[in-house]
């Protein structure tokens, strides 16, 4: 009882109980003692003077939960409306009386629900009626969601059936209805977007519908504006603000025009439709090259959508303003596509550089470098390659990731990752690609400086203190400091001030087949190197433990 205040009263003071109790039978025919409802600030136990001869046993009155002592220390008062519970312990020299109150009313932490604990009425005590109970609840700050009919029913059942209600909900708030983000409602069939998440959790890997034709004046889509939403209200009657929908900006270019008043997007001239990252529309002509990109064609610089039937040979460059469909491979070539890219073959060669404004859908990539702002779809394999995207990376379940680096601003959805005979892969989700490249550069520089320091120590020993050693150690310390402060989460400050935990809650690395040990995982700023192989697993961030956890699919 060391945490409770207590009063050692003289033997001439006797505690008097100021509320009524009764023994009743519950539904299981067990005997229970109930008490009458006491109100806040009501006296429940009082010490009164007696004229009896002092005895050797003293009495201690101890106040428990939801009770307090009066200023004169002689009266125990209720802090809340509720039901007193008295316990008494007696030894040879002392009797301890402890009283606490079971609250009549409880309000959830989010203030969206209020519940009631209700005992049957005690004989000889005026019964609580619906109006009185309603007023008590109002007095306890419950001002929304109450029903006279429900309260009346509870009182009636408690009385007639002798029911004990514990934490019975009596009021509910209304959750806010968040606004909806703006979106484009298309008037024509644009086909499935690659990597679309289906209702059953699977990924839609159907190929993108390329080169959709439009005619002059044809309506392509209508921009549906964001909605504000509706505020909610909690049981205390306070308004809960809703999150209004985000107005996603719409951009049009080339032969597409956007009426800001009506939200209608039309084709100024006939051509080929290109939808980039779901909110950027362009209309341009189509250029067809049936064979390879080689010395016969030269480099391609096109303001149009381009279809290439063959392969882009080493050293050649293709720049397109619209979508690009490549029937063969990109071999040690350079591609800059300001639309969407579909490669029926793959990207081959360490010197191959591919940059895409929209989505990239390819069969395989071997040793190449791919940077996109939209989604990446890998249908077969990615070997010793570097893939970076602001969006998501999706691989078909039978695909194979071998070594290399995959960096995604959102989530990764993969098939097989790694092999016992290959260097480990590095998988980063919820990471800003450029920041992660900066991190890798710092890590490589740190590795070089640490190697230089090791060579110095091997040559001069541990006790040789010269300027070079001091400079190396200061550089190592500075790099460690910079790396620890670099925030990799997209949309946050580059310093660790804003860590973006809310954004990272939805970020996952999903592996449908097997991921091998030594694979390096990053989610936001958290890193984990796998010590075991895993099959059919999903990795996510546990913000409370500051770690990456795994759960079976």
Each domain of the chain, given as residue ranges in start order, spans: 6-103, 106-172, 174-396, 437-485
pLDDT (tens digit, 9 = 90+) per residue, 230-282? 999 999 999 999 999 999 889 998 899 999 999 999 999 999 999 888 789 99
pLDDT (tens digit, 9 = 90+) per residue, 279-322? 899 999 999 999 999 999 999 999 999 999 999 999 999 999 99
Could you tell me which CATH number the domain at 6-103 has? 2.40.50.100
Choose the weakest-confidence range: 213-227, 260-274, 488-502: 488-502
Q: What are 446's strand-pairing partners?
A: none
Of 162 and 369, more confident: 369
E strand or H helix at 442: helix 433-460
- Residue 144 confidence (pLDDT) above 80: yes
The rounded radius of gyration (Å) of the Cα atoms in the chain is 36
Q: What is the mean pLDDT of residues 530-549?
A: 91
Q: Which CB contacts under 8 angstroms, 24+ apart, belong to 312-317? A: 314/349, 314/351
Band (pLDDT 50/70/90 cuts) for residue 226 is very high
Helix (H, G, I), strand (E, B) or coil at 505: coil
- Residue 7 confidence (pLDDT) above 50: no
Task: Output the pLDDT for position 164.
Answer: 86
- Residue 8 confidence (pLDDT) above 80: no
- Residue 3 confidence (pLDDT) above 70: no
Task: Output the pLDDT for position 9.
Answer: 44
Cα dihedral 447/453/458/462 (nearest 10): -130
CB 404 within 8 Å of CB 387: yes
Q: What is the mean pLDDT of residues 405-422?
A: 95
- Residue 280 tokens, joined: 């950027």
Q: What is the mean pLDDT of residues 75-95?
A: 86
- Residue 55 confidence (pLDDT) above 70: no
- Residue 127 confidence (pLDDT) above 50: yes
Band (pLDDT 50/70/90 cuts) for residue 497 is low
Of 144 and 196, more confident: 144
- Residue 498 confidence (pLDDT) above 60: no
Rounded Cα gap, residues 315 and 293, in angstroms: 10
Q: What is the mean pLDDT of residues 318-327?
A: 96
User: In what order do the strands lie in the sheet containing 264-267?
Assistant: 183-186, 219-224, 264-267, 256-258
- Residue 331 confidence (pLDDT) above 60: yes
pLDDT (tens digit, 9 = 90+) per residue, 174-216? 999 999 999 999 998 887 677 777 766 678 788 888 899 999 9
Q: How far is CA 196 from CA 323, 382, 462, in A?
A: 19, 20, 58
User: Vertex 241, ends 238 and 244: CA angle to 5°?
Assistant: 165
- Residue 406 confidence (pLDDT) above 50: yes
Cα dihedral 541/547/552/553 (nearest 10): 20
For the chain, the farthest-separated pair of C-alpha atoms sits apart, in whole angstroms, at 122
E strand or H helix at 132: helix 130-139
Question: Which candidate, 216, 230, 8, 34, places its Cα nearest to that of 97?
Answer: 8
Question: Which candidate, 122, 202, 133, places its Cα nearest to that of 168?
Answer: 133
């Amino acid at each position: 009882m060391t945490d409770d205040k207590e009063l050692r009263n003289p033997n001439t003071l006797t505690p008097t109980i100021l509320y009524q109790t009764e023994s009743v039978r519950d539904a299981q025919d067990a005997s229970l003692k109930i008490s009458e409802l006491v109100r806040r600030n009501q006296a429940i136990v009082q010490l009164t003077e007696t004229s009896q001869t002092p005895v050797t046993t003293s009495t201690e009155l101890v106040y428990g939960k939801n009770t307090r002592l009066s200023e004169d220390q002689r009266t125990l008062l209720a802090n809340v409306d509720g039901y007193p519970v008295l316990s008494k312990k007696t030894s040879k020299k002392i009797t301890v009386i402890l009283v606490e109150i079971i609250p009549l009313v409880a309000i959830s932490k989010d203030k969206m629900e209020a519940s009631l604990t209700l005992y049957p009425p005690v004989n000889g005590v005026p019964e609580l009626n619906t109006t009185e109970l309603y007023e008590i609840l109002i007095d306890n700050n419950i001002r929304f969601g109450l029903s006279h009919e429900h309260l009346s029913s509870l009182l009636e059942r408690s009385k007639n059936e002798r029911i004990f209600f514990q934490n019975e909900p009596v009021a509910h708030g209304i959750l806010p209805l968040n606004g909806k983000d703006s979106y484009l409602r298309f008037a024509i069939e644009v086909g499935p977007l690659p990597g679309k998440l289906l209702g059953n959790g699977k990924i839609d890997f159907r190929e993108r519908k390329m080169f959709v034709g439009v005619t002059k004046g044809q309506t392509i889509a209508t921009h549906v504006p964001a909605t504000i939403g509706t505020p909610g209200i909690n049981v205390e009657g306070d308004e809960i603000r809703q999150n209004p929908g985000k107005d996603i900006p719409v951009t049009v270019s080339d032969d597409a025009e956007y009426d800001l008043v009506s939200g209608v997007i039309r084709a100024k001239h006939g051509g080929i439709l290109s939808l980039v990252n779901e909110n950027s529309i362009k209309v341009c002509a189509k250029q067809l090259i049936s064979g390879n990109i080689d010395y016969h064609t030269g480099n391609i610089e096109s303001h149009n959508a381009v279809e290439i039937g063959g392969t882009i040979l080493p050293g050649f460059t293709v720049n397109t303003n619209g979508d690009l469909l490549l029937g063969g491979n990109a071999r040690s070539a350079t591609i800059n596509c300001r639309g969407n890219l579909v490669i029926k073959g793959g990207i081959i060669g360490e010197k191959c550089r591919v940059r895409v404004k929209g989505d990239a859908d390819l069969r395989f990539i071997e040793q190449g470098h791919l940077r996109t702002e939209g989604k990446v779809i890998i249908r077969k394999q990615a070997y010793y390659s570097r893939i970076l995207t602001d969006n998501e990376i999706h691989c078909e379940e039978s695909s194979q990731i071998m070594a290399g680096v995959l960096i995604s601003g959102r989530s990764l959805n993969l098939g097989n990752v790694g092999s016992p005979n290959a260097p480990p892969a590095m998988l980063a989700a919820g990471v800003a690609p450029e920041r992660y490249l900066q991190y890798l550069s710092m890590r490589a520089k740190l590795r070089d400086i640490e190697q230089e320091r090791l060579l110095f120590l091997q040559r001069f020993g541990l006790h040789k203190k010269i300027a070079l050693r001091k400079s190396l150690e200061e550089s190592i310390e500075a790099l460690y400091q910079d790396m620890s402060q670099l925030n990799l989460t997209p949309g946050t400050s580059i310093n660790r001030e804003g860590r973006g935990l809310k954004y990272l809650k939805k970020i996952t690395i999903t592996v449908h087949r097997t991921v091998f040990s030594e694979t390096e995982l990053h989610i936001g700023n958290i890193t984990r190197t796998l010590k075991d192989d895993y099959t059919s697993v999903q990795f996510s961030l546990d913000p409370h433990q500051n770690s990456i956890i795994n759960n079976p699919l």
